[in-house]
Structure 1
């Protein structure tokens, strides 16, 4: 009997990897948008926040063709994760693995379209350390795939050659396909379930980037919440923040991106330029008020 060729074995591996997770994958229809999601826990669906409309009805279609309306539990644009609740559905939860693929590793992206699997195959072309999104979310690893991700496949599962689900596939800047790692997905989903949002740190300061005399950049305080942590720490309107815990402030955006949920409760030392003099202020980061 002839042994299966390498390509036949590879094809079987791809098919089996996609088939194993197919019962947990759903198609999500929201206003003017189609995307993919997956069952996280009983009655709870995770999808890509950017692929979900901001208004209108949300309809979930499961692999068996049944459809159920869903409601939003919470959304976190900073990590591109949305959590939905659906009643009356019976589908297995996806098992998320904390492994991160090595550069060059073969991967499968499994999504859904019209009750059928939508499967892509490629490799992890770049894998790096934790990074922050432009909206300040901490992503536990930078994983880029050479997979072409259709819009309706956004929110699908990224699977290793060993069959482990290592994250959620999303569309990144300039058409890149990125993966939100399982650790980030789990962490954000737990916070969304508990709070309806991912809490963010809060200084109570309105900041504007300025050039500092003598070189470098600073964050000028344009407004101060009188009840906020900045005011309590003695920060005044017109102050220029030039150091954060002894480190130069590269930009206002970089400073704001550090105010994730892990920053809440921490005390930071601010180096301030005030009327030509250098002063220090200690500020304890609070939780950003809900809008």
Structure 2
């Protein structure tokens, strides 16, 4: 109880008039306190604008202290033209009865330059014989594949256009858990320009996709099939990630993932320049996981493994001093190295353990 709510104190000897006056004073003070409280309540419910430009409203209830984003329409209107719909056609080999047939796919992309370079996922365009792009204003283009990188699930395609609106790249290294996240894409392949909002739920999540260990952003913004390749934006409209995965197990919701844009920049540049990532070291082998370990199934001629004397049938025990028990784990260790590094590998051959030194070579050095 604060000072304004304490009843006024009087001497025991007091007239009725003094009691009436005291009660009147208490009423006036209580009214002032109530008026001040109402002003405070009005103040806390007024929308405030953060440095990022997103209007937020803080609830007046002290029990919840809830803060909620009430309007991101300005940000969405600014960045929606940077996201495109992608449709693909692929020829798939069937069985002997039906032969080959054409399958269709759909995804999303983000414009990275005004002259038509577009980012998407490798898995969106992988194996496609034709790629079509539809921009936010309804214009349709045929696209050509510039380059892909399965290790990061990134790809670049190109349309013959000018004056497209490119996305502004943000810095995903500066993100914090709880930062606002806005996903824009083409869910189900038919709902282009769909916007969902949420937060960054976690940073640096290690997720294994198709035997590739990826370090991704996690968000609770709704992600659905067709969102792949679309943009994840911050509250200022900067591109912070390329959406590429969703946890779709039964009963699980709010687990979407995106490639951090700061990790993607160098890969995208190499894809534009070379059509592939040539600065990454390659072991030069085909691998197979068995119940008891990882085996080399094929050795590429002229590659790192071949020059080190590794052979088909070798069981890989360790790489650079780290025991490896999966292909994903081995690739994760490989990505820590550069071309020219010498890495010690331990393999089992004919029941004996053998240690070899492997000099890492790049794609263009084979």
Note if contact 2:206-2:216 (Cα within 8 Å) is conserved in structure 1. yes
1:287: which partner in 2? 362
Structure of greater relative contact order (alpha carbons < 8 Å, 6+ residues apart): 1
Candidates 22, 27, 31, aligned match of 2:85: 27
Greater strand fraction, Structure 1 or Structure 2: 1
Instruction: Find the partner of 1:73 among 146, 160, 165.
Output: 146
Question: Are 1:22 and 1:63, in contact at CA under 8 Å, matched by a contact in 2?
Answer: yes
Equivalent residue of 1:188, what SS? helix
Structure 1 segment 162-241 matched on structure 2, within 5 A: 162-174=236-248, 176-199=255-278, 201-209=281-289, 219-225=294-300, 227-237=302-312, 239-241=314-316
Deviation at 1:153, TM superposition (A): 3.0
Determine the structure 2 residue equivalent to 1:214.
none
Runs of 5+ consecutive residues of structure 1 not aligned to the other structure = 212-216
Report the CA distance between 1:19 and its aligned residue.
Answer: 1.3
Does the 8 Å CA contact 1:105/1:160 hold for their aligned counterparts? yes
Q: CA RMSD in A?
A: 3.4
Q: What is the CA deviation profile of residues 106-155 of structure 1, one whole-angstrom value per residue up to 9, with x for unaligned ones?
A: 32112368897321112222x1336464346564x432211222333332
Aligned counterparts of 1:207 and 1:117: Cα–Cα separation in 2: 40
Instruction: Identify the residue that residue 69 of structure 2 maps to in structure 1.
Output: 10
- The higher radius of gyration belongs to 2
Alignment of 1:227-266 (within 5 A): 227-237=302-312, 239-260=314-335, 263-266=338-341
Residues 272 and 254 of structure 1: is their aligned pair in 2 closer, same or farther, counting only changes over 3 Å? same
In the alignment, which residue of structure 2 is the partner of 1:94? 167
Asked if 1 retains the 8 angstrom alpha-carbon contact of 2:83 and 2:110, the reply is yes
Note the C-alpha offset of 1:61: 1.8
Cα drift, residue 284 of structure 1: 0.9
Report the CA distance shift for 1:36/1:230 in structure 2 as closer, same or farther (over 3 A): closer
Question: Match of 2:110, SS?
Answer: strand
Contact kept, 8 Å, 1:136 with 1:260, in 2: the verdict is: no
Aligned to 2:133, what secondary structure does the other structure show? strand
Query: Are the equivalent residues in 1 in contact too, given 2:85–2:192 (CA < 8 A)?
Result: no
Gaps of at least 5 residues in structure 2 are 1-41, 48-55, 60-67, 90-103, 250-254
Distance 1:115 1:256 in 2: 36
Aligned residue in 2 for 1:267: 342
SS class of match (1:183): helix
Q: In 2, distance between residues paired with 1:37 and 1:7?
A: 35
TM-score normalised according to structure 1 size: 0.79
Give the drift of 1:45: 0.6
**1:193-251 deviation per Cα after TM superposition (whole angstroms, max 9, x unaligned):** 1221234543344545568xxxxx65444554453332322334554432322222333
Determine if contact 1:36/1:156 at 8 Å carries over to the other structure. yes
